[in-house]
Structure formats: structure tokens, C-alpha cells
Amino acid sequence: MRAEDRALVDRFADALAAEQGAARNTLLAYRSDLASAADVMGVLGDARAEEIGKLAGAWAELSPATLARRSAALRRFYGFLVDEGLRRDDPSGSLPRPRTVRPLPRILEPSEVDAMFAEAEARAASGEPLRLRNLALLELLYGSGLRATELVSLPFRALARPEPFLILAGKGGKERLVPISDRARTAVARWRETMPKSGTWLFPGGKAHISRVRLFQLVRAMAAEAGIAPERVSPHVLRHAFATHLLANGADLRVLQALLGHADIATTQIYTHVDASRLVELVNRVHPLARR
């Protein structure tokens, strides 16, 4: 990347961090996408339409999601340059615009989740520390809808207080309330009793906390023990189950958005596919015309 382009990217990243509180990983992703575009075009800040047109061919083999993300990064970058008076025109109209279809989340039936809990509880009854840990992990994934990173990085004293919730810093450092059930609190307390009292992490592993990859492996192993195909289950699938089962049992979409930590309710609305019949019944029951 040319030195002048690198300077523009630095200004852009500084603005995102200062004005919008963009997280470090977000800034790194923007820098990576902009560097990829510069490698293709040869220029970045003062690129013209014909140079931007090179991206369509060079990025033809990218997945629609990756192409959409890179194009979005460039649109935001050029919008910043125009707003700052660093260029007069916005060339982003020449960017490739893939049509992306948001995939429906994989879900588990309540009976399958019940089977996982029954097996995990039976194995934890032995008092074996790692079995107590696995049950605590499962309770927090399904009972609270935690993201994998949020779960593995919980500090040792998490859930030590009696409040029925945690305050977590999720994506972008945004705080949200996470519900903690009595079941989860009990499971965590039983697991903590087996650990040294001077620990740093609630779920230690090696020199730090267990990794997201290790959590993924543990969840799949628990699924297999319950007779469920492991490839159908992951920490994120259990988060999806938390959301879909709440919605199916009458949870408000805005409440669900807050519990999941979604910035945009459009992200939460994907869960409405799981129980269309309930939504139709709701309209038939509460719409004014239904009472005529």
C-alpha cells in the first residue's frame, strides 16, 4: 500500500475509534479489507471508477459474505474521505454489490436440549470436576445465550454475587444484562468448589482460559454423549436455541434483542422463522379485526 494511502487509512481508523468507539478487532478488519483492495487496484484514496472495477474480477471467487464485507469497508472509507473533504467524489458506486441471503440459524428441538442436559447432569452427579465444568458451560450457553468468547473469558468471581444477572461487555465493548438462572448459578458454584480460590478465570485452560476451539469440542462431545449428531451442535447453535425457544414461548422481540446484544433488531428477526404459526396465531388473537 502506498504511504499516502496508509496515512488515509490511519486517519479513517482513528476516526472510527474516537467517534464510534470501534473495537480493536473491528479496526483490524477494516485495515485488512482496505489493504486487500489496495493490492488489487494499486491505489486506494484517489482510485477512479475504472480502478475500482478491477475488484469485481479479482474478488469473483470470494464468498458473498466476504465480498459484501469488503465492499462495505470501502464504501465507508470513501464516505469518510468525502465527509472530510479529502476527495470530492464518492466512487463507491462502482464497487461490486453481491446479493447476500442471510442463512437461517441451525436449531435444536427442546427435546434435544433436554437430552443434552439429562446426560450432562447424570455425568456431573459423579462429582468429577470436569463433568461439573461441562454442566456449568451448558447451563450458561443455553440458559443465558452467551457468546462463546463471553463465556470462556468469564472471570473467576463471575456469578459470585446473588444478582440474577451479569453485566457483560459484548461486541464492540457494548454492555448488556445477561440473565442467570438459579440452575446456572448452582452449577457454577459446584464447579467453583473444585477449583483453587486464587484463580483468574472461571473456566481455566493452560496458561489462560479455555479457548473457543476447546469449548466447541466440549459441546460437540456432550452432544454425542446425548445421542445427537455432533456436527449439528456448537456453542452458537445453543445460543440460537436460547433465542428460538424464548421466542416460541412468547418472548418479545425487543427483549430478545437486548438479551442477545444485537445492535440491529433486523439481526434478531431471523429467529421469527422458527414459529411462524405462533406469530399468525398472535395476529389472529390480538389484531383489532379479530374481534369483529
- Asked about 240 being catalytic, the answer comes back as no
Paired sense of beta strands 175-179 and 204-205, if any: unpaired
Catalytic (active site) residue 236? yes
Is 239 marked active-site?
A: yes
| Residue 262 known to be catalytic | yes
Q: Which of 171, 190, 212, 214 is catalytic?
A: 171
Q: At what angle do helices 253-260 and 235-248 cross, to 10 degrees?
A: 160
Closest CA to 212 of 103, 159, 137: 137
Q: Which of the following is catalytic: 147, 185, 209, 245?
A: 147
Q: Residues 70, 131, 192, 239: which is the catalytic one?
A: 239
Question: Cα–Cα distances in Å, from 217 out to 121, 147, 153, 207, 212?
Answer: 18, 15, 17, 19, 9
Q: Is 142 a catalytic residue?
A: no
Closest by Cα among 292, 51, 23 to 172: 23
The catalytic residue among 75, 212, 214, 236 is 236
Question: Among residues 86, 210, 38, which one has the least CA distance to residue 140?
Answer: 210
Nearest-CA neighbor of 228 among 71, 120, 88, 82?
Answer: 120
With beta carbons less than 8 A apart as the criterion, state whether 64 and 99 touch: yes
30, 78, 142, 271: the catalytic one is 271
Which residue of the set 131, 133, 176, 262 is catalytic? 262
User: Does the annotation mark 97 as catalytic?
Assistant: no
> Which cell numbers in the block locate residue 242?
436460547
Q: Please check whether residue 203 is in contact with residue 137, taking contact to mean a CB–CB distance below 8 angstroms.
A: yes
Supply the residues annotated as catalytic. 147, 171, 236, 239, 262, 271
